[in-house]
């Protein structure tokens, strides 16, 4: 690594490319047969540490997501990602329109895409790409997504009956996104630990560097598509069974008589859902954070016990540690949320990160993504 003397004559400076190369050496190694194509984008939003510090989890603008999940509501973390401070983004009172829904993961993503597209049609300033307009679009998009799931089983119920969100630091919040979602995704009034757990889930999943769906959002933003269209592009990517809906597959396996066998059948020739992550050598810290909440609130829940057995079986077979999809599946099951709750929470949470990445991409040169194909025919 080339060292350069700084202007003060004492400290050292290094080339950015050399630093990135050194950082890559600390990241988990991939097989030379791995077909993964890695795209590197400079971003000030989220960082995933390497080495032993990985146990502390990822950071949003330098702040640990795990700590944010304990002390702040999701709306504040949206503000942090968008604007760099914890000023909460307040959502609109209601979504303007609510599309019909069905029950499986694919239909959930279709429903979310539909409500985002309808929110775009109701926004005459959707082509305004200024920061202020993007913040308003974020509030409108999240309101449409959350509103599309409210009162779906009891249309006469009022959203004002949602419970208050109480965080571990003792602060309480009314009309929080987490409380509204917890109410929507449950057949009964959710317990306080469930509401707090939904908030923690939203915070932990809000962003995670340059995941596939995030890259899709940034590619769309590079063409200067409006923010709603960029979110729709990301949701289309999220609908794949290997990304945002994987927790549903894991949960179904955990609730079966033979979890390991069912999960293996579901995976087929792809990697095992709920296990392994290219950025982590050990257990995904997000999974550990969610599992810890279940251990504290429902230590004997069958899903948690099944997850322990499943993790032990996978460890004996391949040594691959759990990822966030396992933690999300266990939490959703223990909280007695609807089967599609994991996919819903993932999509709502990640929309915050997508919007922040879209805003960042709007400041970069347009049309900068041009991958090359190597002809093998």
Model confidence pLDDT, tens digit, residues 182-203 = 999 998 999 999 999 999 999 9
Identify whether the C-beta of residue 279 lies closer than 8 Å to the C-beta of residue 358.
no
Residue 52 DSSP label: G
For 68-98, give one letter per residue: b (16+ CB within 10 A) or e.
bbeebbbbbbbbbbbeeebebbebeeebeeb
* 113/70 same-domain check: yes
pLDDT at 246 over 80: yes
* Percentage of residues of the chain with pLDDT beyond 90: 65
Please, which residues have CB within 8 angstroms of residue 188's CB and are 6 or more apart in sequence? 336
Lowest-confidence segment of 19-28, 62-71, 208-217 by average pLDDT: 19-28
The count of structural domains within the chain is 2
Reduce the DSSP state of residue 159 to 3 states and report it: helix
Residue 119 has pLDDT above 70, yes or no: yes
pLDDT, mean of residues 348-377: 94
pLDDT at 93 over 50: yes
The answer to the question of residue 289 being in a domain is: yes
Instruction: State the chain's mean pLDDT as an integer.
Output: 86
Query: Which entry of 173, 277, 301, 338 is annotated as an active-site residue?
Result: 277
Asked if 195 and 178 count as a contact pair (C-beta separation under 8 A), the reply is yes
Q: What is the CATH number of the domain that holds 212?
A: 1.10.580.10
Radius of gyration for the chain, computed over Cα atoms and rounded to the nearest angstrom: 21
Q: Which of residues 342 and 281 earns the better pLDDT score?
A: 342
Which CATH number belongs to the domain containing residue 268 in this structure? 1.10.230.10
pLDDT value, residue 152: 59
For residues 139 and 128, what is the distance between their CA atoms, to the nearest angstrom? 15
The whole-number pLDDT of residue 10 equals 54
201 and 349 Cβ atoms separated by less than 8 Å? yes
- Of residues 255 and 11, more confidence is placed in 255
Q: Please, which pLDDT band fits residue 106 given cuts at 50, 70 and 90?
A: low
Q: Compare 332 and 272 and report the one with higher pLDDT.
A: 332
> Average pLDDT of 350-372?
96
Task: State whether 175 and 61 are in the same domain.
Answer: yes
Residue 331 has pLDDT above 50, yes or no: yes
CA distance 238 to 344: 11
Residue 351 lies in a domain: yes
Judge if 220 and 321 occupy the same domain. no
Q: Which residue has the higher pLDDT, 244 or 276?
A: 276
300 located within any domain: yes
Same domain, residue pair 236 and 256: no
Q: CA-to-CA distance for 223 and 201, rounded, in angstroms?
A: 31
> Which of 22-31, 156-165, 202-211 bottoms out in mean pLDDT, i.e. has the lowest?
22-31
- Tell me whether residue 35 is in a domain: no
Asked if 128 and 140 touch (Cβ cutoff 8 Å), the reply is no
pTM greater than 0.75 (yes/no): yes
Lowest average pLDDT, out of 4-8, 83-87, 208-212, goes to 4-8
In contact, 75 and 351? CB cutoff 8 Å: no
Q: Domain span at residue 110? A: 54-242+343-362
Q: How far apart are CA 50 and CA 280, in angstroms?
A: 8
pLDDT at 9 exceeding the cut of 60? no
70 is catalytic: no
Beta bridge partners of 3: 14
Q: Which of 325, 338, 340, 357 is catalytic?
A: 325
Q: Are residues 165 and 224 in the same domain?
A: yes
pLDDT in tens, 12-23: 555 554 444 444
Structure confidence at residue 161 as a pLDDT band (50, 70, 90): confident
Residue 159: pLDDT over 80: no
Active site residue 277: yes
Structure-block tokens of residue 249? 């597959």
Amino acid 240: pLDDT? 81
Q: Which helix (H) or strand (E) holds 246?
A: helix 246-254
pLDDT at 75 over 80: yes
Q: Are residues 222 and 276 in the same domain?
A: no
CA within 13 Å, CB half, 108: 25
Is residue 69 assigned to a domain?
A: yes
């Amino acid at each position: 690594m080339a060292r350069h003397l700084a202007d003060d004559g004492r400290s050292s400076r290094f080339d950015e490319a050399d630093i990135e190369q050194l950082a890559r050496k600390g990241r988990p190694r991939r097989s030379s047969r791995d077909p993964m194509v890695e795209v590197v984008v400079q971003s000030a939003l989220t960082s995933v540490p390497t080495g032993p510090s990985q146990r502390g989890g990822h950071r949003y603008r330098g702040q640990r997501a795990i700590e944010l999940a304990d002390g702040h509501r999701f709306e504040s973390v949206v503000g942090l990602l968008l604007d760099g401070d914890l000023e909460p983004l307040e959502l609109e009172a209601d979504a303007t329109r609510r599309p019909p829904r069905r029950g499986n993961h694919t239909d959930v993503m279709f429903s979310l895409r539909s409500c985002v597209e309808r929110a775009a049609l109701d926004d005459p300033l959707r082509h305004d790409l200024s920061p202020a307009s993007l913040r308003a679009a974020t509030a409108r998009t999240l309101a449409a997504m959350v509103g599309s799931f409210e009162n779906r089983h009891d249309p006469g119920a009022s959203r004002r009956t949602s419970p208050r969100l109480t965080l571990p630091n003792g602060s309480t919040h009314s009309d929080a996104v987490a409380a509204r979602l917890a109410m929507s995704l449950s057949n009964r009034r959710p317990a306080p630990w469930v509401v707090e757990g939904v908030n923690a889930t939203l915070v932990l999943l809000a962003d995670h560097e340059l995941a596939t769906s995030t890259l899709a959002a940034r590619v769309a933003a590079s063409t200067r598509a409006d923010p709603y269209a960029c979110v729709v592009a990301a949701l289309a990517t999220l609908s794949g069974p290997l990304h945002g809906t994987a927790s549903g597959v894991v949960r179904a396996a955990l609730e079966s008589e033979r979890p390991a066998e069912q999960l293996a059948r579901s995976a087929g020739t792809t990697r095992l859902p709920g296990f392994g992550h290219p950025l982590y050598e050990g257990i995904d810290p997000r999974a550990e954070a969610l599992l810890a909440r279940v251990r504290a609130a429902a230590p004997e829940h069958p899903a948690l016990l099944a997850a322990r057995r499943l993790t032990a079986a996978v460890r004996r077979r391949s040594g691959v540690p759990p990822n966030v999809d396992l933690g999300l599946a266990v939490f959703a099951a223990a909280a007695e949320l609807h089967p599609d709750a994991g996919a819903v929470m993932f999509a709502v949470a990640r929309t915050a990160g997508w919007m922040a990445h879209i805003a960042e991409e709007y400041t970069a040169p347009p049309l900068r993504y041009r991958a090359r194909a190597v002809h093998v025919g």
